[in-house]
Amino acid sequence: MSSEQRSNLDELATRTVAMPADTNPSGDIFGGWVLSEMDIAGSIVASKRTKGRIATVGLEAMSFHKPIKVGDIVSNYARVVRVGRTSITVEVITAVERQLSGETIVVTEGLFTYVAVNEKGQPRLIERL
């Protein structure tokens, strides 16, 4: 991945290492684990922007481009793409640094929608910037 591509990935929200416990029978990382990590990354950015509690309400345009391997360094980049009255949509792009080659590639991307909620779990208005 070039430095130009890397600069287009926006905010680094999370970084972790893919571990053997999260593999499928083929030895690649489970898609569900990847989705969970992406949701965490998106929720960090959404919560910061909405200044409070949020709840995941939707996932769209999910694409898995390449498998994640055990030992890959997994980085989730996130950026707000839309803010509504009570909802916020965050694009999350997952890139990995391959353990052996050091090559960095984009492996997954998706759009996550969250709703800002109050202490009772009811939708609340998002402050305009």
Domain ranges of the chain: 3-116
pLDDT at 36 over 90: yes
Question: What would the mean pLDDT of 121-125 be, rounded to a whole number?
Answer: 97
- List pLDDT tens digits, range 62-79: 999 999 999 999 999 999
Instruction: Decide if domain 3-116 falls under CATH 3.40.50.300.
Output: no
- List pLDDT tens digits, range 52-65: 999 999 999 899 99
Pairing of strands 87-97, 104-116: antiparallel
pTM: 0.90
Average pLDDT over the chain reads 93
Give phi and psi for 44, each to the nearest 5. -60, -50
d(CA 50, CA 43): 10
